[in-house]
Structure 1
């Protein structure tokens, strides 16, 4: 019988005995794994850990300490201290305090496509400067392209222009113009207004035989002082800005070409060869406006640091545009602090409204946004690319069509452009009671020529041109997307690489409804590929064809004056509060499926949105914006429709508010008693109400926490805007 073995003997025999020297496998420190069920961190969870917020709290704390020390010092010196801690300050201290509170040290800047409005926050009205710069060039803008006039004339097979005014702009324009004129006659007859049967013939017959009258220079009391660019002992400047640039003769020696850095509310990439020159022109225009228009003399950069700057930006902005202005204001201009405010929000500040729908009709863009409790509803923002400049061009086409005596009118010539703007402001109206054959006159003032006085008759052109905002097919949209993204690319997220410019469901719906078929098809194919679509099926559901039924659009929108609306025939019906309805096979209305149950529709992709020009009827755009802002709430819809406010330079057209109100009542008959369109209160000029709101915002020193100073910008760069903007950046 074998004896029992010990444990050590078994370990030796089995080879399990430990034979090492008890040394660690590595000299690196061993890190104990974290218990995943019970760990905690406060990284970036407290305000004190964010530099922008911590700096703001430190400033508030330093201010409280200073006030306490001043109060103790005043008590020790026997001065009077009020019950709230107010101290009787010295005369110099009171003046400094008044300057800070009144906005005397705050400059408000509002950049537009055609005009720059700039002024101190305590000014009653801003200074208006044309947003243009003239630079020396081989040719002026009227001499480029073989002198092709604007608006462009149609050409015959031999390359010449038609001699008949009715054919100078092509058959398509003739059909649209004639159709709009006939619709106007029908509407005026329905409204019991007198319409002469031969009105157009009366206009054309008079304009055909009319000539001009020459007025000598010494008899012209309103002659224009043209800008002199050369002379004895005078060196031609490299550039000229503002109103003086528009008064440079087209055939000056040397030649100058006009550049407009902002176009259609975007950076003008079409007319520039480099991004640096584009930014430099914006900087020069603002710098010259501050120097020449504001009654402040800033001799050094240290004095500039004592001033604050408020920049009014578009509602539907591009991040690259905002960050460029921020860098320019702090690095180039040297302002002590900068903040941004959106146009519609600034307009609500200037008008004193808290809940409203702002319709801003500018020179080259029109924006619609809804305000609720002093903040813009993001998904209600709409940005359309037409405005007063398109109305001017359509008006010129219409008057030339009716044998305008000055048929050589060319918007590429500077004096003709100013003449066309003057004629539009004088005669355009949307009041049907003013439509009749009337006799007018105007003076043509050109460089190195005697003044000419023309008389002409005009009829319905004055109302059909601004009617283009309701029927934008009359506008010429050719070339508006030329050069888009040529110099300045989109802003992309550094983590996922996706574009991070702001988005709006209202804008996306409009873009989807007007998108060309090739854009829709490419988007659907991309979505199908991403969803794993095989053999026309996905998850047992057949692939739907790419037709209008896939586009989210409005219905219950009547055709306005026989104008076809985009995708109106195939869009689902909507209730009066904007809630969509569907119809079953028997025609009975059924409730729409919840979003989670219905198939996910793929709108126009973000990458393809730059390929679509947002041109849409203004009343439909307002309905789209209000519907997305109300989100099905009838009460909110009623509140927004009852406080629609028109702003912008083009909104001053007489009768526009009444005509727009009648059109909206026809689109939404259930809200006809609620729809009210108004102007800014207190007889405030609609052109400057956004600037006025920016001035109010800049003077809110105690409640405004969106200031960015050089200290924060130097350390955080554009990332500081995520903590300083009042809206989601």
Structure 2
């Protein structure tokens, strides 16, 4: 500990971080990298697999239904008008008397380094194998024959023809940019903060896809082959939305399938506090598909304050499209984020470049692209309007409905107690006549996981309220006025949505407005992030792992595979959010 107090943090990270892989899985993106890196790789959390099924499903997901009911449409329009009144723009049914009236243009100079109108190109789905020609072993002749039937070309620049075959799978952003006419099916293994399990997408397939994506990243991005993984340790920084079943399965994948030597699990909200060098804060994590809120006091997450909101940055992007179509400013092109994921990439980019929260009419001239049938992207210059409305949907979520994807069926999770609830406080004495890999008190013939007692806890509760109300409710639930005042002055915004321009002052104003008048609190402050909000949780996980204060929380590969983790063993994957005061002293020094 004396060494930790005296050593320079960068030196410690350099010494200990070179063999620590920090993995922060999200619904839409995964952030992964060595703890010694300044920033992680931020990669779309998806995989496209080659398929020869006819008819093929272009996207493997829970449902492909974006029908809006009349009631939902009316609620959305009412939410728009409420927002319009707040930010002083015309209501939906108001017509501008003079269409040539000069509208204020949103200037975003200097923010995006000239990449505002990025054009995506279709992914090349073929792989060229120059060794596959005349001489082929009999065992592989069938595969080569099949690939020849699929797609064979002769390159005139080469002396001999080469077999061109389809890549079996494609990961990351390239998977999102595959033309719909290609024989691929896109899989998103995590959706809305849970495994994306449905009748069309089994648990086994979800885990296989996760393994394929993570293994691909480890090999292609971090250059860590399977044969060397036992020399590395993994830090899993998991969202609060995950159930223990999901965490356990990910741990098994990391230790057994990916073959890391050891691993530890840390909580995303708590890691974000570490990432910004804090000890207490109300962490508001705004991801692409889910927003979570949790309060942390002196390095301990408070389970009763946890909130989950079923919306995020992708919903703001969808709202941007709805707003433009309603105002008839969107070009007459077929934009479909369900069957063409590249369209969602485009909308996300437009949202990041042009949307902001401010008063008045905010318009901008932008280039919108159309992506059709594998042909080059078409460019359409257009005038986008009401660009300050979509991000206000964070405070008025009825604007963001409907949810295109429902939550996972709860029947798939029988042991769904959540990461924050302490159901493992019961300690059992170890009988000397029993081997260490047996769980005492139940059935002495089964390992721990087979006899794990299922607790009748409720499924994760999602809040159907706006961001300001959820934050206020979370902080007030602590019940102590001194802590409440401290947390209202320590709101920490993390996640990609936290980069929205104008969000901080809007958040402070809306939260202050949401505090009941009988509460003795009159000041709200959102803390400026010391690191990129998108990577705060990942960075915090790297710091926690490098400090190595929680040695009892680390799980070794052999222990996990052979025995599992046991009550009273001293290593419990779910309670790693208890932090030692020494580490906090180090962080604040």
Answering whether residue 206 of structure 2 is matched by residue 278 of structure 1, we say yes
Give the aligned partner of residue 249 of structure 1. Answer: 179
Give CA deviations for 1:126-171 in whole Å, capped at 9, x if unaligned: 01111001123335555899xx98744xxxxxxxxxxxxxxxx564
1:489 to 407, 413, 432: 413
Give the aligned partner of residue 469 of structure 2. Answer: 620
**Offset at residue 351 of structure 1 (A):** 0.2
Pair 1:259–1:716, CA change in 2 (3 A): same
Question: Is contact 1:114-1:130 (8 Å) kept?
Answer: yes
Task: Give SS of 1:328's match.
Answer: helix
Answering whether residue 218 of structure 2 is matched by residue 290 of structure 1, we say yes
Question: Is contact 1:180-1:464 (8 Å) kept?
Answer: no
Question: Is contact 2:282-2:295 (8 Å) kept?
Answer: yes
Question: Is contact 1:227-1:249 (8 Å) kept?
Answer: no
Partners of 1:481 and 1:151 lie apart in 2 by 11
**Offset at residue 672 of structure 1 (A):** 5.8
Partners of 1:475 and 1:710 lie apart in 2 by 43
Give the aligned partner of residue 503 of structure 2. Answer: 656
Q: TM-score normalized by structure 1?
A: 0.60
Question: Is contact 2:122-2:374 (8 Å) kept?
Answer: no
Q: TM-score normalized by structure 2?
A: 0.74
**Offset at residue 450 of structure 1 (A):** 4.3
Pair 1:231–1:727, CA change in 2 (3 A): same
Give the aligned partner of residue 182 of structure 1. Answer: 81
Pair 1:710–1:299, CA change in 2 (3 A): closer
Task: Map 1:139-218 to 2 at 5 A.
Answer: 139=55, 141=57, 151-152=66-67, 171-188=70-87, 198-199=95-96, 202=99
Give the aligned partner of residue 324 of structure 1. Answer: 249
Give CA deviations for 1:250-309 in whole Å, capped at 9, x if unaligned: 101xx1111100010001012644321111111111000111111x34361xx2111111
Answering whether residue 241 of structure 2 is matched by residue 307 of structure 1, we say no
Give CA deviations for 1:149-203 in whole Å, capped at 9, x if unaligned: 8744xxxxxxxxxxxxxxxx564455334433433443345xxx99997449849
Task: Give SS of 1:415's match.
Answer: helix
Question: Is contact 2:85-2:91 (8 Å) kept?
Answer: no
Partners of 1:364 and 1:454 lie apart in 2 by 28
Task: Map 1:462-611 to 2 at 5 A.
Answer: 462-478=387-403, 480-481=405-406, 483-486=408-411, 488-491=412-415, 500-502=417-419, 609=459
Partners of 2:91 and 2:203 lie apart in 1 by 54
Partners of 2:188 and 2:59 lie apart in 1 by 17
Answering whether residue 565 of structure 2 is matched by residue 718 of structure 1, we say yes
Gaps of 5+ in 1: 1-59, 61-82, 85-96, 153-168, 207-219, 492-498, 506-604
**Offset at residue 112 of structure 1 (A):** 0.5
Structure whose alpha-carbon radius of gyration is higher: 1
Give the aligned partner of residue 674 of structure 1. Answer: 523
Partners of 1:199 and 1:654 lie apart in 2 by 27
Question: Is contact 2:64-2:405 (8 Å) kept?
Answer: no
Task: Give SS of 2:49's match.
Answer: strand
Q: How many residues align?
A: 483
Answering whether residue 320 of structure 2 is matched by residue 395 of structure 1, we say yes
Question: Is contact 1:647-1:679 (8 Å) kept?
Answer: no
Give the aligned partner of residue 345 of structure 2. Answer: 418
Gaps of 5+ in 2: 4-10, 104-116, 127-150, 154-162, 423-454, 580-589
1:637 to 484, 487, 490: 484
Give the aligned partner of residue 454 of structure 1. Answer: 380
| C-alpha RMSD of matched pairs (Å) | 3.6
Task: Map 1:67-106 to 2 at 5 A.
Answer: 101-106=15-20
Give the aligned partner of residue 29 of structure 1. Answer: none
Pair 1:660–1:136, CA change in 2 (3 A): same
